[in-house]
Amino acid sequence: MLKSLKRSAKGASVPHEKATAALATVKMEPPKHVIIPMQMHIGAPAEPIVKKGDTVMVGTLIGKAGGFVSANIHASVSGTVLEVASIRMVNGVVCKAVAIEADGNQTVDPACQPPTVNDKPSLLAAIQACGLVGVGGAGFPTHVKLAADTLDTLIINAAECEPYLTTDAREMLECSESIMAGIEMVMKQCKIPHCIIGIERNKPECIDLMCSLVREMPGVTVKPLPMRYPQGAEKTLIETCTGREVPKTAPSGKPGIPADCGCVVMNVTSISTLGKYLKTGIPLVAKRLTVEGDAIAEPKNIEVPIGTLYSDVIAACGGIKNEVELGKIIFGGPMMGGAAPSADYPVLKQNNGLLLFSRAAATLPEPEPCIRCGRCITACPMGLEPVVIAEGFAAKDMEVLQKRNVDLCVACGSCTYACPAKRPVSQNMGLAKAWYLKQLKEKAGK
């Protein structure tokens, strides 16, 4: 019998707002140019291997992984390299980027050939060559995740619990064959006996389809998940699906990861991308986005070349509605996504949504004093105490932050959503965590 779950009942009852769930994906015409950053993943940035004036094709390697925890980057359009220069990303990080003028032909590089995979090392090499990262938002290089030798359960994250976003649902409905191919290959070559596909119950079509497809696949099951955000958070998902808990600290003394409890989590679009790559040899060069919000003229699920500017995506969706003042652009979902200061930023591998809200919808209420009601604690899937952490951060008290496990915050935003005083609780948690980790790093460097 599984132990009682601690995290699955926590979180927030956010509205789903899945208005685009029934909209089939449309493919965007290639833009006139793209800007492809070399930092679209956790870890070392890729190193550009092209220069101004070079001719590239779809799938041409333009950035080579800068280490084991890194990822290759490929051209998403065919055309000519305009320049290689440093840019400031929407999150403030400065990195190199390759700007390409598209020729409109989308010619695929002849070097894009299906890889030969017959064991785990060749599978990991293929994944690394593909440039595959967690495309659900985190951007962690996939070959690093699968390198562990202690895995007995592959968990496919198809929860898609963020409001508005429906890209993973469309992946399941439109690309189920590649999902199954990816699952089968990972289980076979990594010798993982069990696979659980976790899907929130607000996607009955997806649940029915996946159930029908896994009937003849030994070891693979579908797990309907509660409709309570954040079911897709890695540790919550593992606990809901298996009853296991990722330890705070691994036996090595490092922070615990899913592999420490025998699990590896892959986003459903990530596993599907792997299935497509194994069949075609075309690496990760395009991304499906849900474009939604009360300011966009034509909400869509749209597939765009990686590196496409937000402004071009917005234009492909009919632009901003007439007589609507644009108030905010959010990349990702409204709970964990970030706000962009303008539409002059490129779509990255891990982006899955572009939300456009009017000034009225984007205006936040004025925060009121904390009444210490404890709702932020009840909502936190990690069982943290934001009020105490805020006090510890204000006092710059490392001991308090350590004891209250500030480093476990997953920035899901449930605390902010639950707060009746409308305080920026999650944002303060993020600042506290960043300061705490910086202090640890500086202390370790002495």
Tens of pLDDT, residues 75-91: 999 999 999 999 999 88
Q: Output the pTM of the full model.
A: 0.94
Calculate the CA 5 to chain-centre distance: 25
% of the chain surpassing 90 pLDDT: 87
Write out pLDDT tens, residues 103-157: 999 999 999 999 999 999 999 999 999 999 988 777 889 999 999 988 999 999 9
Dihedral of CA atoms 180, 183, 187, 189 in degrees, nearest 10, equals 100
Calculate the CA 212 to chain-centre distance: 27
Domain 120-280 - what CATH class? alpha beta
Q: Would you kindly state where each structural domain of the chain is located, as residue ranges?
A: 26-102, 120-280, 287-362, 375-445
> Distance between CA 7 and CA 297 in Å, rounded?
38
> Distance between CA 402 and CA 399 in Å, rounded?
5
**What is the per-residue pLDDT for 249?**
83
pLDDT at 3 over 50: no
How does the average pLDDT of the chain come out, rounded?
A: 94
Q: Residue written as tokens 């404890």?
A: 374
Count CB-CB contacts under 10 A for residue 395. Answer: 11
Write out pLDDT tens, residues 142-172: 999 999 988 999 999 999 999 999 999 999 9
Whole-angstrom CA distances from 80 to 54, 64, 75, 77, 371 are 6, 18, 10, 9, 59
pLDDT at 446 over 70: no
Query: What is the pLDDT averaged over residues 405-433?
Result: 95
Question: Dihedral sign, CA of 403, 335, 387, 432?
Answer: positive
pLDDT at 358 over 50: yes
Domain 287-362 - what CATH class? alpha beta
> Distance between CA 231 and CA 7 in Å, rounded?
9
> Distance between CA 354 and CA 301 in Å, rounded?
10
Q: By mean pLDDT, which of 134-138, 171-175, 189-193, 373-377 is the weakest?
A: 134-138
**What is the per-residue pLDDT for 139?**
81
Which positions ≥6 away from 321 have C-beta within 8 Å? 294, 295, 296, 297
pLDDT at 2 over 80: no
Per-residue confidence band for 404, with pLDDT thresholds at 50, 70 and 90: very high
Is-contact 133 283, C-beta < 8 A?
A: no
- DSSP state, residue 366: P
- Strand locations in 231-299 (E): 263-267, 286-292
**What is the per-residue pLDDT for 6?**
56
- Residue 230 three-state SS: coil
**What is the per-residue pLDDT for 213?**
97
> Distance between CA 119 and CA 116 in Å, rounded?
9
Which positions ≥6 away from 381 have C-beta within 8 Å? 7, 10, 11, 230, 233, 235, 236, 410, 412, 414
Helix, strand, coil % over all residues of the chain, rounded to 5: 30, 20, 50
Nearest CA to 187 among 227, 218, 216?
218
Query: What is the pLDDT averaged over residues 391-419?
Result: 95
pLDDT at 28 over 80: yes
Query: What is the pLDDT averaged over residues 399-415?
Result: 94
Query: What is the pLDDT averaged over residues 400-415?
Result: 94
> Distance between CA 197 and CA 156 in Å, rounded?
5
Whole-angstrom CA distances from 172 to 177, 265, 363 are 9, 17, 34
> Distance between CA 251 and CA 42 in Å, rounded?
23
Per-residue confidence band for 5, with pLDDT thresholds at 50, 70 and 90: very low
- Residue 267 three-state SS: strand
Query: What is the pLDDT averaged over residues 302-323?
Result: 97
Q: For the chain, give the number of residues.
A: 446
Per-residue confidence band for 248, with pLDDT thresholds at 50, 70 and 90: confident
Element (H, E) at 134: none
pLDDT at 299 over 90: yes
pLDDT at 359 over 80: yes
In DSSP terms, 94 is beta-bridged to 88
**Cis amide bond preceding 386, omega within 30:** no
Strand duo 94-102 + 55-56: pairing: unpaired
**Environment class of residue 106 by beta-carbon count within 10 Å: exposed (0-12), middle (13-18) or buried (19+)?**
middle
